[in-house]
Amino acid sequence: MYFYFYYFNRNYKINSYFSFMSKDDKFKKVISHAKEYGFIFQSSEIYDGLSAVYDYGQNGTDLKNNLKDYWLKAMVQLNENIVNIDSAILMHPKIWKASGHVDAFNDPLIDNKDSKKRYRADVLIEDHIAKIENKIQKEISKASKRFGKSFDIDQFKSTNSRVLGYQNKIIEILKSFNQAMENDDLVGLKKIIENLEITCPISGSKNWTDVKQFNLMFGTKLGASAENATDLYLRPETAQGIFVNFLNVQKTGRLKIPFGIAQIGKAFRNEIVARQFIFRMREFEQMEMQYFIKPGTQHEWYSKWKDNRLAWHLSLGLGEENYRFHDHEKLAHYADAACDIEFNFPFGFKELEGIHSRTDFDLSSHEKYSSKKIKYYDNQSNESYTPYVLETSIGLDRMFLAVFSKSLIEEELADGSKRVVLKLPKILAPKKIAVLPLLKKDGLPELSKQIIEEFKWEYNTVYDEKDAIGRRYRRQDALGTPYCLTIDHQSIEDGTVTIRDRDTMVQERMKIEELKVKIKNELDIKTWLSF
């Protein structure tokens, strides 16, 4: 049950609702761009798709790998005392008992007796609030049309009686809603649904069952015959694979506390309402790091890791204003401090990464359930103890969405035309260089291929000769390729090419050797990660 609060409490902030609705269109553009340019596809699309499961296409995979690499470099390569592992998805079922997931990893569900459809009780309430928010938006857009340029949105929101009425209604609902969630009050949740007269979107009826808990873990079976099969779970987080390998890694790596174990891998959660594209998926990837420390030092490390992780995010240059910390007031059973780094997604500020001071809960619990001693022996102080753990946990897909959505920009150019450009941090761009012969003749394609040979060993480089040069530039802009190299007749004569910068569209003629230096400098990982 603690997990349950841990997941939901944070999301119910009035601000998130206000910003969510107004940015709907931008979000639709993000989704369609991701598909059109080969970043993300609906899983099993030709069979009408599988809800909340997505495939990464040719460009999405490159971007995702670059994100992993950026995290791994900062986390493992640059920290002598942090190592990387890759544990199995299938694990002994007792692990999930020890971790608390079997008993507490739940969502509150409610069924409509007429349509037989199942809903998450909290989401029904959330949707109801969103409808009220929609009414506020309608009032705002009506007024903005009426007042034209002199319209002051803040003044309107704080003085218009209808808008104020809607806002008060939302505040009132959120008050009882948060209270019900905090007190694990399933009867209270049902009461809110009844009081708000929420109807089933399918049957239209208010004929609801009681609210029940539903475990989010996916079950599967191990074994050839039904009688002998063992029930297993697909892991809902990668963290437990680290905890159960604590001694293996510490001993074989002769690691001394403080040290960290990092892992990137798939996690699975049977999310009942999985919306918002890759923000909440049923199969997703996490990048987690568990930092093992001496008991009593956790507050110091908590604050250090908060600073470190925020600095990592800021190093990508997506804008400081798009991040904020949200401290958890109600803590999970294993934590003595926890916060999220929230990001300004197209639907408002939401959790991107969690930083949790997990005490000795996990190692102690595994010691108890496995009956194996899991202690660290400190040969300097001559004492043996269960280390405390400081966790940083980020969803790779959420990170993808954060970077992708913030980078997708529609610009109006000086001549009045528009361009869609994916201003990804250059270090993350799927393809770094596009080589474009001005014409498909006169030896220009051949020279282009030679130039690709110069770059492809170090950078993902593509060749494109189709369409007019302007269209090719636009295509690379939409894919986020930072550099277009145009090869023309002068290139054959003097070995210079034109380099066009994706963001500024400035074109410069340079020798290949100069180009190499420029690109190397701009993509130097040391510059990006020196924070």
The binding site for ligand GAP (CB under 6 A) comprises 237, 239, 269, 271, 280-281, 284, 286, 288, 351-354, 391, 393-395, 397-398
Q: Which residues pair with 265 in a beta bridge?
A: 286
**Is the distance from CB of 52 to CB of 43 less than 8 angstroms?**
no
Cβ proximity to ligand GAP, 281 vs 429, nearer residue = 281
Closest contact distance (angstroms) between CB of 282 and ligand GAP is: 7
Cβ proximity to ligand GAP, 208 vs 268, nearer residue = 268
CB atoms closer than 10 angstroms to residue 177: 23
Closest contact distance (angstroms) between CB of 302 and ligand GAP is: 15
Pair type for strands 219-222 and 230-233 = antiparallel
Closest contact distance (angstroms) between CB of 238 and ligand GAP is: 7
Closest contact distance (angstroms) between CB of 328 and ligand GAP is: 10
Closest contact distance (angstroms) between CB of 40 and ligand GAP is: 13
3-state class of 235 per DSSP?
Answer: coil
Q: Which two three-digit tokens encode residue 43? A: 């899983």
Q: Which residues pair with 500 in a beta bridge?
A: 484, 507
Q: Which two three-digit tokens encode residue 101? A: 């997931």
Number of residue whose CB is nearest ligand GAP: 395
First to last CA, the chain: 39
Integer Cα distance of 4 and 343 in angstroms: 21
Cβ proximity to ligand GAP, 401 vs 421, nearer residue = 401
Cβ proximity to ligand GAP, 272 vs 429, nearer residue = 272
Cβ proximity to ligand GAP, 135 vs 280, nearer residue = 280
Query: Is residue 487 within a helix (H) or strand (E), and if so which, with residue range?
Result: strand 483-487
Integer Cα distance of 204 and 402 in angstroms: 36
Could you please report the per-residue DSSP string of 166-213? HHHHHHHHHHHHHHHHHTT-HHHHHHHHHHTT---TTT----B---EE
Closest contact distance (angstroms) between CB of 280 and ligand GAP is: 4
Cβ proximity to ligand GAP, 194 vs 327, nearer residue = 327
* ω into 258 cis (within 30 of 0): yes
Cβ proximity to ligand GAP, 280 vs 516, nearer residue = 280
Q: How long a stretch of residues is the chain? A: 531
Closest contact distance (angstroms) between CB of 240 and ligand GAP is: 8
